[in-house]
Amino acid sequence: MNKILVTALSFSKYNKEPLSLLQKAGCEVVWNPTGLPLQEDQLCQMVADCEAILVGVDPITRRVLEAGKKLKVVAKHGVGVDNIDLQAAAALGIQVTNGPDTNSEAVADLTFGLMLAAARSIPLADKSTREGKWPRLVGPELYRKKLGILGLGAIGKRVAKRAAGFSMEVLAYDVYQDAAFAAAHQVRYLSLAEVLRESDFITLNLPLLPDTREIINEKTLCLMQPTAYLINTARGELIDEQALYQALKAGRLAGAALDAFIQEPPPADHPLLGLPNVVVTPHMGAYSYEANRNMGMAAATNILAVFRGETPPNLVKY
Q: Which long-range contacts (CB under 8 A, 24 or more apart) does 141-144 make?
A: 142/115, 142/116, 142/166, 142/168, 142/201, 143/167, 143/168, 144/168, 144/169
CA dihedral angle for residue 306, residue 309, residue 312, residue 313, rounded to 10 degrees: -140
Tell me if 109 sits within 8 A of 90, measured CB to CB.
Answer: no
d(CA 313, CA 308): 12
Phi, psi angle pair for 91, to nearest 5°: -65, -30
Which residues, 6 or more positions from 125, have their beta carbon under 8 angstroms from its beta carbon?
135, 137
Tell me if 242 sits within 8 A of 214, measured CB to CB.
Answer: no
d(CA 33, CA 150): 37
Q: If you compute the radius of gyration of the chain from its CA atoms, what whole number of angstroms results? A: 21
Tell me if 313 sits within 8 A of 305, measured CB to CB.
Answer: yes
Tell me if 106 sits within 8 A of 286, measured CB to CB.
Answer: yes
- C-alpha distances out from residue 272 to 215, 217, 262, Å: 18, 15, 12
Point out the residues that are catalytic. Answer: 235, 264, 283
